[in-house]
């Protein structure tokens, strides 16, 4: 199995991602680190520990990380993820405490100790990852790839052009993109498309197995003010969200990526936090970018096999072979 570390802000869809990571036989989940985003970092730690217990993986090390972005003021997305940051499902408090070390220390330790290069999967603002890359740049020698949920080549969600995780800490995202590590951007262009039909969500919710039932309840969560638009999923469908980035690690063939230059807009104003993806023809060819300031080539996900990832997700959390 691929050694994987998830850095998350659990988070309804981060919880879906953790359930998948724990149950996929091709993933060896070595640690989970927590960062402020969907809710405050202590809430994220609590939610993460609870989800791992419910998923049957109470021994995966969990560490508390950054409580605020590098430069931006702290802010929360409770309006999307509920008061507890995870859909207010009334889940029990976790039985254990997080590791006695901070997230950056745990990340460094687990990455360098792994017998095979690690795939790092941030599904949250990139504060912990940026601090890691700046404080311990030697970790890059044992990182296979960073597959992050964040950014968008098209429309944003936090602002018209910026996706939440990048918008929350744009400087951190810029540090990730210029770190010289292979990066896959699982952005909104694919993130919003991977949706589980309502009938499947209802089936999961009726399961007698706690982890499967939790996946169903999370998929059924609806933000308090959904503000539905044409093209939004039907009322009872459930988006996989961050869990899609884990599907991309387990089954990269389901994703279509293009190697393109991506730069984070850092200037104050309406474009702050936008991932500017250069989609001009021949954009990936270096001579077009000679003299351009720090800018990196990223494998940007532009298309996804929705049916394939939905079937993979359901089979994995239910512990059966894909249909």
Residue 296 found at the interface with ligand BDR (CB under 6 A): no
**Count of alpha carbons within 13 angstroms of residue 119, beta-carbon side:** 22
Report if residue 124 touches Ca ion, rule: CB under 5 A.
yes
Q: From the list ligand BDR, Ca ion, none, pick the one residue 55 interacts with, judged by a Cβ distance below 5 to 8 Å according to partner type.
A: none
Among 13, 110, 278, 305, interactor with ligand BDR by CB under 6 A: 13
Task: State the DSSP code for 124.
Answer: S
Instruction: Work out which of 39, 50, 123, 184 binds Ca ion, going by CB under 5 A.
Output: 123
For Ca ion, which is the closer residue by CB, 37 or 211? 37
Residue with tokens 């404080």: 135
The listed partner (ligand BDR, Ca ion, none) that binds 54, CB under 5 to 8 Å by sort, is: none
SS3 265: coil
Q: Which does 241 bind (CB under 5 to 8 A by kind): ligand BDR, Ca ion, none?
A: ligand BDR
Query: Which residue in the set 33, 38, 39, 212 belongs to the binding site for ligand BDR (CB under 6 A)?
Result: 38
DSSP 86: S
Which tokens is 117 given? Answer: 């290069």
Residue 123 engages ligand BDR in binding (rule: CB under 6 A):
yes
What is d(CA 13, CA 219) in angstroms, rounded to the nearest whole number? 8
Q: How many helices and strands, by DSSP H and E, does the chain display?
A: 12, 11
Minimum distance from residue 301 beta carbon to ligand BDR (Å): 14
Taking CA atoms, 25 is separated from 10, 65, 192, in Å, by 22, 27, 25
Q: Does 80 bind ligand BDR (CB under 6 A)?
A: yes
Pick one of ligand BDR, Ca ion, none as the site partner of residue 32 (Cβ within 5 to 8 A by kind).
Answer: none
Binding region for ligand BDR (CB under 6 A) out of 9-17, 24-32, 206-214, 276-284: 9-17
**Residue 184, binding choice from ligand BDR, Ca ion, none, Cβ under 5 to 8 Å by partner class:** none
| Cβ 208 vs Cβ 318: under 8 Å | no
Q: Any bridge partners for residue 122, and if so which?
A: 7
Residue 147 three-state SS: strand
CB 221, CB 12: distance < 8 Å:
yes
Q: Does 242 bind Ca ion (CB under 5 A)?
A: yes
Any bridge partners for residue 256, and if so which? 303
For the segment 158-187, give every residue that binds ligand BDR (CB under 6 A): 163-165
Footprint of ligand BDR (CB under 6 A): 11, 13-14, 38, 77, 80, 123-124, 149, 157, 163-165, 241-242
């Amino acid at each position: 199995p691929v050694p994987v570390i998830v850095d998350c802000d659990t988070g309804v869809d981060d919880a879906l991602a953790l359930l998948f990571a724990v149950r996929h036989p091709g993933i060896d989940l070595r640690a989970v680190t927590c960062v402020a985003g969907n809710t405050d970092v202590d809430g994220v730690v609590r939610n993460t520990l609870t989800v791992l217990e419910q998923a049957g993986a109470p021994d995966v090390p969990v560490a508390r990380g950054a409580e605020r972005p590098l430069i931006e003021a702290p802010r929360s997305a409770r309006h999307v993820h509920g008061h507890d940051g995870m859909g207010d499902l009334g889940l029990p408090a976790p039985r254990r405490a997080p590791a006695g070390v901070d997230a950056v220390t745990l990340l460094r330790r687990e990455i360098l100790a792994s017998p095979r290069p690690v795939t790092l999967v941030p599904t949250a603002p990139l504060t912990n990852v940026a601090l890691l890359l700046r404080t311990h740049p030697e970790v890059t020698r044992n990182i296979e790839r960073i597959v992050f949920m964040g950014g968008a080549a098209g429309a944003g969600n936090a602002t018209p052009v910026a996706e939440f995780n990048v918008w929350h800490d744009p400087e951190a995202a810029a540090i990730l993109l210029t770190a010289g590590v292979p990066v896959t951007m699982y952005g909104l262009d694919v993130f919003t498309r991977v949706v589980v039909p309502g009938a499947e969500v209802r089936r999961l919710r009726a399961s007698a197995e706690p982890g499967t039932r939790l996946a169903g309840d999370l998929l059924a969560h609806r933000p308090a003010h959904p503000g539905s638009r044409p093209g939004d999923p039907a009322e009872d469908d459930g988006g996989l969200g961050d869990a899609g980035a884990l599907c991309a690690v387990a089954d990269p063939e389901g994703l279509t990526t293009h190697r393109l230059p991506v730069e984070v807009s850092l200037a104050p104003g309406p474009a702050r936090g936008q991932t500017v993806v250069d989609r001009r023809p021949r954009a990936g060819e270096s001579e077009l970018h000679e003299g351009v300031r720090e800018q990196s080539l990223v494998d940007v996900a532009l298309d996804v096999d929705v049916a394939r990832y939905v079937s993979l997700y359901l089979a994995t959390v239910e512990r059966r072979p894909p249909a």
